[in-house]
Every structure is written in structure tokens, then in C-alpha cells.
Structure 1
Amino acid sequence: MTLALGGLALTTSTNAAELDRPALTSVLITPATNVPVPPLVPTIFPTLDPEVPAAIKHAPATFSSLDAAVAAHAAGETGNEEALRCLATTIYFESKGEPLAGQLAVAHVVLNRAKSGRFASDVCGVVKQRGQFSFVRRGVLPAVDAVNRMYRTAEAVAKVALASAWKSPAPNALFFNGRKVGLPGRLTKVALIGNHVFYR
């Protein structure tokens, strides 16, 4: 059978016995040169999975809830134990009775400040900066019993924040205070979580 389409002739076989052969065995002839064009050969891609980039291999795990993220980070270590201690102590003294979302938001305030360029550039520097956190005395963090249940929770929340394993419920917040305290200056309210109001 020969089909003509736009000056091109396509010859195909219609025998029933040849149905098992690949469909791309026809020859295409151009009328201008009368030179056969080689049959089209489909590209075959390997079935092996490509190498996963290292950044994806080491991406933070995803969790179904903040509770699950905190539980998963309760054990294990971080790369910077000093930053962990400063952040966990801040969470403990500023929000130990708050819901996990409030504790995480407090942690992210510290991390956001460290990235902002308006405060110290590291976690402990932000926490110990003069006049920022009332529990800090002369640049020294108070001692906390490391086996205290509330401190262990604060430490797990700090690990979640440091690992970027859960988004902050108060995005881009740089400040927080109690509900009963008025709006400080010209700040924009970002979130109300537990007994704290968060601002940027």
C-alpha cells in the first residue's frame, strides 16, 4: 500500500503475517532527490535510575506533624553543640510551657536574627546580645538540668529548627513578646501562638 502526503510517498506492508514486525520498516523517498531516507530508529533509554544528587540524599526528612519531627530529633547530635545549647536554653526559658509551635517559633526568631545582619551573626551571639533576653545575665546562660523533661523537649525543638526540619509557624519573625504587652514600635504582627505574639 502506498500513501502520498504532501509530495512524499510512504510504502507500507499490510500482510497479516508481518504485523509482529516493527512499524518503522517503511522507506521514505523524497521526490526531489529520489534518495531513500534511512528508517527511523527509536531512542532507547537505560532503565537504571540516575544517580541521586548528594543534596537530595541528605535533604531533611519530611514529617507528618511537628510532634513527629520533634520526636525524631529527640535523640542524636547536631554539628554544633554550643549553638544547640544556646538555642535550647532560650526555648526553655522563653517558652517551655508553650505549645511546640510556639517553642519552634521562638527558635526561629533566634535563627532569623542571626541571618538578618541586624543582630549577631551566630546563635549564641544573638542569645547573649545585651538587652535581648532577660534570662541572660552578663552574657552568661543560666544552668539547666539536662535531664529535665521540659529541657529535653526544648533541645529536640532546637534540633528541628537547626535542621530546618519544620517551617516556622511565624515566618520571618524577629521579635516576640507576651500577649499582654502592647505592639512594640512599628513592627508588623506575624503570628499569635500560645501566650506569645510574633513580629517582624
Structure 2
Amino acid sequence: MLIQGAILCLAMNIYHEARGEPVKGQIAVGTVTMNRANWDVKEICPVVYAPKQFSWTSLKKNPHSYPPKGDKSWQRARQLAKKIVEGELQDVTKGATYFHTHSVKPVWRHTFQRTVVIGNHVFYASR
């Protein structure tokens, strides 16, 4: 049950943060989440729902609500999350623990080392 819950949390994060990205970008968002959780399944949900870490969890609408059942992006996010948790997909971010889209310029970005740009996201790791 723990693994299923972790997969669900990871899938929600992939879906809400990267559903419009190429598959590699979705994997990247998933692996950032895993890097933050130190690849510990028990830590995935606490990482996803930590205050002010991922934009979608701060929305006024219920961030726990599920995407529509027929949504292909949701189905892909679930598949990718399962593969990431099961160790079938590797980190494509070079150890990144943070990311942002090109449309924002967070102050913290200068604190970290840029590792890769995938799709609309820029990824960063500790220096």
C-alpha cells in the first residue's frame, strides 16, 4: 500500500508540474522529486506536499483531486511514476533537486548549479 500511495503522489506531481512536457521532461520532474526524497519511497508524499515546494499544491482548488480518468496525460504520469519508483527509469537531470519553467526567474536559481534544460524547465542541483 505504501508503494501505491507513493506512486500516486509522484504521478500527481508529474501530472501537475509537467503534463505538457515531452516524456523526458516528465521523467525529469519525477526524478527531481525522487532526488529530494533520497529515492526513499516513504519520503515521496512528504516531499510532494511540503509547503511551497511545488506550485500546484498551493492552488486554491483542491490539490488532492484526481485528473479525469480518460486523461491520457494522467495515464502517462501514472505509468512513468511507477517505472521511476520501481527503478526502471534513471535520473535524466544529473542530480537536480530544483527546477522552474522559463517563464519565471526565481531568486534561488543563482544559489544552485544549472544541470540541464529539458523542454520548458531548467533544472538545478547543489553546487
TM-score tier (shorter) = 0.7 to 0.9
How many residues get paired?
119
Q: 1:142 to 1:134 in 2, by over 3 A?
A: farther
Q: State TM-score, norm by structure 2.
A: 0.84
Give the aligned residue type for 2:74: Y
CA distance in 2, matches of 1:195, 1:102: 8
CA distance in 2, matches of 1:147, 1:80: 23
CA distance in 2, matches of 1:185, 1:191: 14
Confirm or deny that 1:127 pairs with 2:48.
yes
The aligned residue for residue 80 of structure 1 is: 3
Partner SS, residue 91 of structure 1: helix
The aligned residue for residue 177 of structure 1 is: 100
Q: 1:140 to 1:178 in 2, by over 3 A?
A: closer
Unaligned runs of 5+ in 1: 1-77
Larger Rg: 1
Shift of 1:87: 0.5
Q: State TM-score, norm by structure 1.
A: 0.55
CA distance in 1, matches of 2:65, 2:5: 14
Deviant stretches of 4+, over 6 Å: none
Confirm or deny that 1:167 pairs with 2:72.
no
Q: Is the 8 A contact 1:96 1:154 kept in 2?
A: yes
Q: 1:165 to 1:135 in 2, by over 3 A?
A: same
